[in-house]
Chain A
Amino acid sequence: MRPHRATSRPGAPPGGARSALVHAAPPPATLLIRRAHVLDPRTGLDGPADVLVRRGLVAQIGAPGAVEAGDGAEVVEGKGRHLLPAFVDPHVHLRTPGQEHKEDLETGTRAAAAGGYCAVLAMPNTAPVVDSAPVLGALLDAAAREARVPVGFLPAITVGQRGVELTEMAELRDAGAAGFTDDGLPVVSAGVLRRALRYQRLCGGVLALHEEDPSLSGDGVMHEGALSARLGVAGIPSVSESTMIARDCALAGYEEARIHLQHLSARESVEAVAAAKAHGVQVTCEATPHHLTLTDEAVASLDTRLKMNPPLRAESDRRALIEGLRDGTIDAIATDHAPHARDEKEVAFEQAPMGTTGLETAFAALYTELVVPGVLPLGLIVEKLSAGAQPFALPVPRIVTGEPANLTLVDLDARWTVGEHGYESRSDNCAFAGRRLRGRVLLTVAAGAIAYRERSFAVSAA
């Protein structure tokens, strides 16, 4: 099938639009991080260096021990630690407005900072749904007061996420929409999605798609396979995701529109994306740390923290996701951080809501399960942890002189048990709870300001 030739191409947002990312900007940092191993796969930095941040900008990168701190600079000893470009998560649920008992802008972005993130994009499946400019405007205003790290919002594609009428996408873009999504739900009607894809020519903004065919997933609660058969719970087949991906890639190709596919979970999905990319479809996609490191075997206990949508799948699916990251089919890692209150998860597996938190464990889980055993190189993981910025036209963090400081200092040797010190998130439904992980975020600088210090580190650095 040859794509239909269009006279215009999807463009940037109209001029004068509100910035997509806002936060309560703390005073810009002035600090010298000394002798850390600086690793930035995009600039090729990979070795010990001093990095001086002055008034929020990277002022100097020099040989270890050679950079002068200057007046008023805090000195952070980075020896034995790694300094990375901070991470960007294009897929988090901050539960605001309406579900602040699970998370709010402050706790969610604090969790992000604790995980090494300098920017996050929040999903619109809130109460009410973020589907109008006034709701979006109020959120951006609240974020300007409460958010610890820059946060952007993806309003809904359809009113109320009901999959019928398009939202006022152009007005939403002017009001600061970073893109659009009905996340949590698929856009079931191909006709509705096609209209949204055409409308992108007017308003820009990538459409982020939760891919699932409800007629196939039905009342499924976990991956369909031997384990769901054994446990007597309804399964969600892999083809529920991959068939919708194939359909939507075909639509995006036909309309020459840009789509971003959320949380890939199945081997067939990776194959469908690879085929679409080979045909020139403008598609990007993401995978989560839990789908990259866990399988449905972990669900045998029916621990509700391991219930999420899409579900943890088979080892062959996990392997395919890893290969997809390696060969570039999968563009970015996103957490799908989905907090739920404890009482909501303290029920039988079939009744529990879908979702796991993920911001505070993403790096350590990936480092422990993929880098330490030699499955993927550290540089690739670091790159993919911030690559989610690109599809949404957000600045990609780089350690370059003159650019805003977006930095994460990590201790790769630190071992910790997930949950032992609680969480910055308001919720504790973490799929990795109780696991022993390696790699600890010690310090996060987001948009030039210190957003997080690990407790023990704050003491030693004083």
Chain B
Amino acid sequence: MRHLLSIGDLDRDDIERICARAEQFSEVSDREIKKVPALRGRTVLNLFYEASTRTRSSFELAAKRLSADVVNFAASGSSVEKGESLKDTVLTLAAHSPDAIVVRTPHAGSAALIAGWTTAAIVNAGDGKREHPTQALLDVFTLRQKLGALDGRSVWIVGDVAHSRVARSNILAFRAMGAHVTVCGPPTLIPRGIEAMGCDVRYDLDDLREADVVYALRMQRERMDQHLVPSLREYAARYQINGRRLGPRQVLMHPGPVNRGVELSGEVVDSPQAVITAQVKAGVVVRMAVLYELLSGTRAVEPAPLEPQLA
């Protein structure tokens, strides 16, 4: 695997291998010294064109636990604000020879574009509304921990599917793992043609009981400004996952950050069905596995020590 740009580039074996590796790294995360030397001397560059504390720090932590050096490059306060193009920014950063660039941009296909401009391995940490592959991998990992194999399981992805890169990567990942995926949300937030990805489409939660897993998406307030739904009140009335709608044996997931009282009621966020913090925890080990997958073995050059090492 040279880059991680899309879940569509992975098959079931790839996903299982990454999950198995993440499992091994889980053990590291539970140690007192949470660090292995696997990527010592490697440089991981976080290039984020969108505000993101969670994903960026999760990648940072993952790289550091593998002993890689990490540089964070946020688009605000940098040359980007002076009008530098994506290409020139990438060429400039690539001159520092990073081994991997973790990139998030507000535009579909940017990660693939960047992959053409540098020899570094590219990890797509979200390209517009298109994909967020490490989120899907950590979600699969979390679910396998909770449920075992996903074959034949029913996953409902509920909410603003149109604007969700998480939804797209997860449809691909859950299907690759043998699950049956249903997307559900207001018709104005379900893109025409989404069923071609191999999922069912529903516009109400009447059959939510059939789901083994309920995956709620974040409902962004800016959708209100675009008048894509009449009101948050009506959205919550129809699509909020609450104690009345969530069954005791269903697993509840959410990519965070949660809007309590909108897509999820407070009670279900705090319920035992929710695995939202497990997802966050899985994020680090899965990203360790991804970085390891991309960087171990390739150009494994141990630099000659500059100073004689102390015996």
CB within 8 Å of B: which residues of A? 224-233, 235, 237, 302, 343, 346-351
Which B residues between 101 and 142 are near A, CB-CB below 8 angstroms?
105, 107-110, 112-113, 127-131
Are B107 and A226 in contact, CB atoms less than 8 angstroms apart? Answer: no
Contacts of B131 on A, CB cut-off 8 Å? Answer: 232
Of the listed stretches B16-24, B65-73, B193-201, B253-261, name the one at the interface; the rest are far from the partner chain: B193-201
Question: Are A343 and B85 touching (Cβ within 8 A)?
Answer: yes
Known: A346-B87, A347-B85, A348-B128. A230 touches B196 (CB 8 A): yes
Residues of B within 8 A of A (CB): 85-87, 105, 107-110, 112-113, 127-131, 164-165, 168, 191-197
Cα of A302 to Cα of B8 in the assembled complex, Å: 15
Q: If the complex has contacts A232-B108, A348-B109, A351-B107, are A224 and B192 also in contact, measured as CB distance less than 8 A?
A: yes
Alpha-carbon separation in the docked complex, A230 to B128 (Å): 12
Contact: A347 with B192, CB < 8 Å? no
Determine whether the beta carbon of A348 is less than 8 Å from that of B196: no
Tell me whether A302 and B128 are in contact (CB under 8 A). Answer: no
Are B192 and A349 interface neighbours, CB within 8 A? Answer: no
Whether A229 touches B86, Cβ cut-off 8 Å, given contacts A348-B107, A349-B108, is no
Residues of A within 8 A of B127 (CB): 348
- A237–B109 Cα distance when bound, in Å, is 21
On whether A235 and B191 interact (CB within 8 A), knowing A230-B197, A343-B85, A347-B86, the answer reads yes
CB B60 to nearest CB in A, in angstroms, measures 24
Q: By the criterion CB–CB under 8 Å, are B110 and A348 in contact?
A: yes
Given A302-B112, A343-B85, verify A350-B128 contact (CB < 8 Å). Answer: yes
Residues of B within 8 A of A232 (CB): 108, 128-131, 164-165, 168
Contact B193 A229 (CB under 8 A): yes
The docked-state distance in angstroms from the alpha carbon of A147 to that of B286 is 61
Q: Smallest CB-CB separation from A218: which chain B residue?
A: B226
Given contacts A232-B131, A235-B193, A237-B192, 16 further A-B contacts (CB under 8 A): A224-B193, A226-B194, A228-B191, A229-B192, A229-B194, A231-B108, A232-B165, A235-B191, A302-B108, A343-B87, A346-B85, A347-B107, A348-B110, A348-B128, A349-B108, A350-B128
Known contacts being A348-B109, A348-B110, A349-B108, is A226 close to B130, with CB within 8 Å? Answer: no
Instruction: Verify B107–A350 contact, CB threshold 8 A.
Output: yes
- B residues near A231, Cβ cutoff 8 Å: 108-109, 130
CB distance from A248 to the nearest CB of B (A): 25
A36 to chain B, nearest CB (A): 44
A181 to B: closest C-beta gap in Å = 30
Which residues from A are CB-within-8-Å of B112? 302
A-B contact pairs, 17 of them (CB 8 A): A225-B192, A226-B193, A228-B191, A230-B194, A232-B108, A232-B129, A232-B164, A232-B168, A302-B108, A302-B109, A346-B85, A346-B87, A347-B86, A348-B108, A348-B109, A350-B107, A350-B128
Residues of B within 8 A of A230 (CB): 168, 193-194, 196-197
CB-CB nearest in chain B for A347: B86
Q: List chain A residues, Cβ under 8 A from B85.
A: 343, 346-347
B197: chain A residues at CB < 8 Å are: 226, 229-230
**Nearest-neighbor residue (CB-CB) of A343 within chain B:** B85
Closest partner residue, chain A, to B168 (CB atom): A232
A230 to B169, CA, bound (A): 9
- Closest Cβ–Cβ distance, residue A51 to chain B (whole Å): 48
Q: How far is the CA of A351 from the CA of B87 in the complex (A)?
A: 13
Closest to A222 in B: B108
Cα distance A228–B192 when bound, in Å?
9
CB distance from B20 to the nearest CB of A (A): 28
Which B residues lie within 8 Å of A350 (CB)?
107-108, 128
A224 CB contacts on chain B under 8 angstroms = 192-193
Given A233-B129, A235-B191: A348 and B113 interface contact (C-beta under 8 Å): yes
Decide: A233 and B196 in contact? CB cutoff 8 A: no
From A226, A233, A346, contact of B108 by CB (8 A): A233
A346 to B114, CA, bound (A): 10
Contact call B128/A233, Cβ cutoff below 8 A: yes
Alpha-carbon separation in the docked complex, A235 to B191 (Å): 9
| Smallest CB gap from A350: residue in B | B107
Contacts of B105 in A (CB 8 A): 348
Residue contact B193 to A228, C-beta cutoff 8 Å: yes
Q: Which residue of A lies closest to B165 (CB)?
A: A232
Q: Measured between C-beta atoms, what is the minimum distance from B125 to chain A in Å?
A: 15
Per CB-CB distance, the 8 closest pairs between chain A and chain B, nearest first, are A226-B196, A348-B107, A232-B129, A302-B109, A226-B193, A232-B130, A229-B193, A229-B191
**Please, how many angstroms separate the alpha-carbon atoms of A343 and B195 in the complex?**
36
